[in-house]
């Protein structure tokens, strides 16, 4: 109900900063401060309530809060949506808690292969990389593709050559391995190939008591960020290690513009997490944008329609975060939980794992 009221208010005069509340914070709008909003996710793979210890939940929330706080500070001082998306996702990539950058899942043959994408809603410019193994922060490479190439999507060794040539930080493959992901891989892998095991054993994996004690069943931990900056520009970014045990240089939805990542100042910015194939075949992010642009849906109605109606038809699995051109934030998931956080110009940071 709330989003209908919000939509009416916004239609009536959001650009004049009326006294309507935004669904994203419930607080009153400040007519003197430009609005901005940010939402982030750390994957829709959270297990049923009670699966994590209090200490683990606190660790997830602290990291989500740290990333969101940085986003808030940057947005407050007028940084652009794309700059914020990159800086925030870097924090999540650097954390071994999530399946992106350090802490990524391990492929069938013992490698770590990461995908990332970013899109600028003002220009529709975008950049994506897939199957990269040596780029410390894949989101920075995606940004470099967007800014410094006439192309959009680079794959595997080619993406790494482009990144290295353009000054993106490269790092030894060992850096990405954590003992937790190695333990998961050993239990779930469907190959006994000794060379794969030997390869993984050769990695200097991170040992961390909190992370090693995480449940082994967690599925997704893709990270993403959507932003409306104080100039009203939108951007979205997503970064992931993909699916554990993936084969054949499988590419998921994260680096597919329109599937896992999309931004358009006309409508919204979106980042998805879940079974990537479900988001690819439904072109999920662009569907939400088109429901807003072509059907006049509110952001909440459009994300709900995608995750709770359209996903039912294909037994789709996952969630998404979104921000619209008015700064409204929406998130939906059909999993047990989704690691997520948000704030806006009022600075109150909310972090959640399960239902609010």
Q: Which helix (H) or strand (E) holds 49?
A: none
Residue 18 is among the residues annotated as catalytic for this protein: no
Residue 249 interacts with a second copy (CB under 8 A)? yes
- CB 108 → a second copy: shortest distance, Å? 10
Cβ burial 160-180 (10 Å sphere, 16+ → b, else e): bebbeeeebeeeeeeebbbbb
Question: In this chain, which stretch among 25-33, 96-104, 147-155, 180-188 interacts with a second copy, using CB under 8 A?
Answer: 147-155
Query: Using CB under 8 A, which of the segments 170-178, 216-224, 275-283, 339-347 binds a second copy?
Result: 275-283
CB of 69 to a second copy, least distance (A): 31
Residues 305-334 that bind a second copy (CB under 8 A): 314
Whole-number minimum distance, CB 279 to a second copy, in Å? 10
Q: What Cα–Cα distance (Å) separates residue 150 from each residue in 126, 146, 157, 193?
A: 10, 8, 18, 41
DSSP letter (8 states) at residue 203: S
Q: Which of 9, 47, 70, 152 binds a second copy (CB under 8 A)?
A: 152
Q: How far apart are the first and last CA of the chain?
A: 16
The SS3 of residue 333 is strand
Give the containing element (helix H, strand E) for 293: helix 284-295
If one asks whether residue 281 binds a second copy (CB under 8 A), the answer comes out as: yes
- With tokens 């490698």, the residue in question is 111
Cβ 306 to a second copy shortest distance, Å: 12
Q: Is residue 162 involved in binding a second copy (CB under 8 A)?
A: yes
Residue 317 neighbours by CB under 8 Å, 6+ apart: 274, 275, 278, 311, 334, 335
Site for a second copy in 214-233 (CB under 8 A): none
Phi, psi angle pair for 321, to nearest 5°: -115, 150
Rg from Cα positions in the chain: 19
The distance of closest approach from Cβ of residue 93 to a second copy in the complex, given in angstroms and rounded to an integer, is 21
DSSP 248: T
By CB under 8 A, which span of 75-83, 97-105, 222-230, 291-299 interacts with a second copy?
A: 291-299
As a residue count, the chain comes to 356
Binding mask 77-116 for a second copy (x = CB under 8 A): ----------------------------------------
Q: According to CB under 8 A, which residues from 186 to 205 bind a second copy?
A: none
Write out the H or E segment, with its range, that includes residue 116: strand 114-120
CB 139 within 8 A of CB 90: yes
From CA 333, how far away is CA 335, in angstroms rounded? 6
Question: Quick one: which segment of 5-13, 31-39, 124-132, 232-240 binds a second copy (CB under 8 A)?
Answer: 124-132
Query: Does residue 248 interact with a second copy by CB under 8 A?
Result: yes
- In the region spanning residues 8 to 67, those forming contacts with a second copy, defined by CB under 8 A, are none
Catalytic residue among 222, 273, 275, 282: 222
Q: Measured from the CB atom, is 4 or 151 closer to a second copy? A: 151
- Per-residue binding string, a second copy, 251-270, x by CB under 8 A, is xx---xxxx--x--------
What angle is formed at CA 146 by the lines to CA 243 and CA 248, rounded to 5 degrees? 25
| Piece of the chain touching a second copy by CB under 8 A; list 53-61, 143-151, 188-196, 207-215 | 143-151
User: Are the C-beta atoms of 348 and 61 separated by less than 8 Å?
Assistant: no
Round to whole Å and give the CA distance between 13 and 123: 25
Nearer to a second copy, 131 or 328 (CB): 131
**Which active-site residues does the annotation give?**
222
Which residues here bind a second copy, judged by CB under 8 A? 119, 124-126, 130-131, 149-159, 161-162, 246-252, 256-259, 262, 276-277, 280-283, 286-287, 290-291, 294-295, 314
């Amino acid at each position: 109900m709330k989003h209908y009221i919000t939509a009416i208010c916004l239609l009536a005069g959001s650009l004049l900063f009326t006294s309507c509340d935004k669904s994203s914070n419930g607080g009153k709008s400040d007519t003197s401060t430009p609005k901005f909003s940010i939402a982030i996710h750390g994957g829709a793979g959270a297990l049923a309530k009670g699966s994590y210890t209090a200490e683990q939940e606190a660790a997830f929330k602290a990291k989500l809060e740290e990333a969101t706080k940085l986003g808030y500070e940057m947005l407050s001082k007028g940084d652009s949506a794309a700059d914020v998306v990159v800086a925030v996702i870097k924090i999540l990539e650097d954390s071994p808690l999530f399946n992106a950058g350090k802490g990524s899942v391990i492929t069938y043959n013992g490698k770590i292969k990461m995908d990332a994408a970013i899109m600028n809603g003002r220009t529709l410019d975008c950049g994506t990389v897939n199957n990269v193994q040596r780029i410390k922060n894949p989101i920075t490479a995606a940004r470099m593709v967007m800014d410094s190439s006439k192309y959009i999507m680079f794959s595997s060794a080619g993406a790494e050559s482009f990144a290295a040539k353009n000054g993106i930080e490269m790092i030894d493959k060992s850096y990405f391995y954590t003992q937790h992901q190695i333990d998961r891989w050993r239990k779930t892998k469907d190959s006994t190939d000794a060379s794969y095991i030997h390869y993984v054993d050769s990695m200097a994996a991170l040992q961390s008591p909190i992370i090693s004690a995480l449940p082994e069943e967690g599925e997704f931990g893709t990270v993403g960020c959507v932003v409306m900056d104080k100039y009203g520009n939108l951007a979205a970014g997503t970064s992931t290690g993909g699916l554990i045990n993936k084969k054949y240089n499988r590419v998921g939805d994260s680096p597919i513009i329109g599937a896992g990542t999309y931004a358009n100042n006309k409508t919204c910015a979106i980042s998805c997490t879940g079974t990537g194939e479900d988001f690819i075949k439904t072109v999920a992010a662009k569907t939400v944008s088109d429901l807003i642009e072509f059907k006049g849906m509110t952001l909440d109605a459009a994300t709900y329609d995608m995750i709770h109606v359209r996903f039912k038809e294909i037994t789709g699995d996952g969630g998404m975060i979104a921000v619209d051109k008015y700064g409204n934030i929406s998130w939906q998931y059909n999993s047990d939980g989704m690691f997520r956080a948000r704030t806006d110009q009022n600075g109150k940071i909310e972090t959640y794992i399960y239902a609010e």
